[in-house]
Amino acid sequence: MDFSKLFSFLKNLSSYSSFKRRVVSGFCLGVLVSILLFSLLASVNTTSSLATITTVNSSSVFSWFLSPPRNSSRGYLPGRGTGWEDPYAIESNGTELISNSSDPGNTKDANFTGIPETDRGFSPEMGIPSWNDSASDSKRQDLDKSLPKNTTKDEASAMIVEKKDASGSASVTVTGEVSGKCDIFNGRWVRDEGKPYYPAGSCPHLDLDFNCYLNGRPDDDFLRWKWQPYGCNIPSLNATDFLERLRGKRLLFVGDSLNRNMWESLVCILRHSVRHKNKVYEASGRREFKTRGYYSFRFEDYNCSVDFVRSPFLVKEIYIKHANGSEDERLRLDILDETTNAYREADVIVFNTGHWWTHEKTSRGLDYYQEGDYVYPRLKAMEAYKKALTTWARWVDKNVNPNKTRVVFRGYSLTHFRGGQWNSGGQCHKETEPIFNETYLTKYPGKMKVLEQVIHQMETPVIYLNISRLTDYRKDGHPSIYRKEYNTTVEPLTAERTQDCSHWCLPGIPDTWNELLYVSLLMDGKGSWQR
């Protein structure tokens, strides 16, 4: 282009009127700038060695605002106002980040109360947050990058490794879907339409008072929830894998009827995976398990057993008959009961005690507790509980070989009586969903604080199944009036006066306890439970 003619033209503008001069000058200047820019871009494209141009995709800019980098301490939740706190972000010390906003619809409620179902969507298949926006795909891609090549979803969900924090307590890191330090007992219940570990009515080894389906409970929505820890995913209980790890071994539950609840749950879970179900049987042939005694379910194909022995206090109960025919009950706080010989050599022992310490005699503590020859005129139940647990701990340290036996203690299972206890009008009938508002949860049980103190002082490693919090949410999972079969329409009305809001329907909540037992043993990684 001949620029001399253009400059000559601009020079002659002085002969134009002021208005025409401004118009023509502006037009020409715009043309000149456009030509210069076009020439510059052309020269850059043809000479790649001179410069590199980075193209910025506008959609990626908007995507960043919708989904900030995953390693950021803040994350955006769609439809949550200005709340930037990510409920899945976990501090290095394991503390959950929650919003301090006063907005009732924000993330302050750890149960996500107030978030529409479509916004708090959870993928049961993948076990990761699936917020309904473009951020979901971004998060999933970030997580996929951390997986080894050709890793399947099932393999990813089973990848767990053990870690210990500064205090020495175990934690779990789940690689694959979500990484990060995680307390598997700190979480929430999420909706899950998957099937239970065994179909309702399919297991013939349930005591009648746990078989809510057989007893006519009309709803099954309480089975549509899955426990989801904050910050990580945990594998489901693989019953075949569980039995393989138990091959040639014995797992034993020791405790009260809540441990019987858990024991029957595990028997049914494992039995459902066995092809020849006639090779799963109780060794003595008994079909009811409520009375004192030792019960053993044999799994012939694996040469293993899953057993239960009733010991509601762990320490020894004694009965003293007087000459006049009366009888006194005492609790020896310094001696374990006679069942110890049954579980000294077991490979996994799951202990519990708690509910019987709330009964009338134990709670009053009048002339009931004894150490040696001394009977306490009065002793608070919590003090007696600590003495009993200390006796248990000393026995374990002296008699259990930690190289052979894994010791587990299951925490206190919360009850949901409203209006009184079982014998004074308490009820949980017609509860059909979990508690969502945390203000309605009870305080952490004092007994479990005592247990933690005792375990901390033990030489033997103890796996603590801290299920108190997760059971507290589940007011909907109790048998209530469905703990027996009714022959008339009047009987259920009478049963409403003595409801069972302590134990749990099966299938039901104890299946999750066993799932967490499975994960905890894998985390412990000793013996056959090594990954």
Compute the distance between CA of residue 190 and CA of residue 130 in angstroms, rounded to an integer. 12
Q: In this structure, are strands 304-310 and 294-299 parallel, antiparallel, or unpaired? A: antiparallel
Helix, strand or coil, per DSSP, at residue 469: helix
Q: Check 500, 502, 511, 520 and give the catalytic one.
A: 500
**Residue 352: exposed, middle, or buried by beta-carbon count in 10 A (0-12, 13-18, 19+)?**
buried
Cβ neighbours of residue 475 closer than 8 Å, sequence gap 6 or more: 416, 428, 431, 434, 435, 501
CB-based contact 326:367 (threshold 8 Å): no
Q: Check 130, 257, 265, 305 and give the catalytic one.
A: 257
CA distance to 181, 235, 469, per residue, from 172 (Å): 6, 12, 18
Compute the distance between CA of residue 5 and CA of residue 24 in angstroms, rounded to an integer. 15
Per the structure block, which two tokens stand in for 62?
């908007």
Compute the distance between CA of residue 379 and CA of residue 360 in angstroms, rounded to an integer. 13
Q: Let me know if 109 is a catalytic residue.
A: no
Helix, strand or coil, per DSSP, at residue 42: helix
Compute the distance between CA of residue 523 and CA of residue 170 in angstroms, rounded to an integer. 8
Q: Which helix (H) or strand (E) holds 296?
A: strand 294-299
**What per-residue string of b and e applies to 260-293 under the rule 16 or more CB within 10 Å gives b?**
bbbbbbbbbbbbbbbeeeeebebeeeeeebeeee
Compute the distance between CA of residue 296 and CA of residue 207 in angstroms, rounded to an integer. 15
SS (H, E, C) 346-406: CCEEEECCCHHHHCHHHHHCECCEEECCEECCECCHHHHHHHHHHHHHHHHHHHCCCCCCE
Cα three-residue angle 141-147-152, rounded to 5 degrees: 95
Q: Which helix (H) or strand (E) holds 299?
A: strand 294-299
Question: In angstroms, how far is CA 434 from the centroid of its own chain?
Answer: 14
Q: In this structure, are strands 304-310 and 225-229 parallel, antiparallel, or unpaired? A: unpaired
Q: Let me know if 503 is a catalytic residue.
A: yes
Task: Report cis status (omega within 30 of 0) of the bond before 507.
Answer: yes
Cα three-residue angle 338-340-344, rounded to 5 degrees: 160
| Residues counted in the chain | 531
Per the structure block, which two tokens stand in for 229?
């820890």
Q: Check 136, 503, 511, 520 and give the catalytic one.
A: 503
Within 146-188, residue ranges assigned H as helices are 153-157
Residues marked active site are found at 257, 500, 503
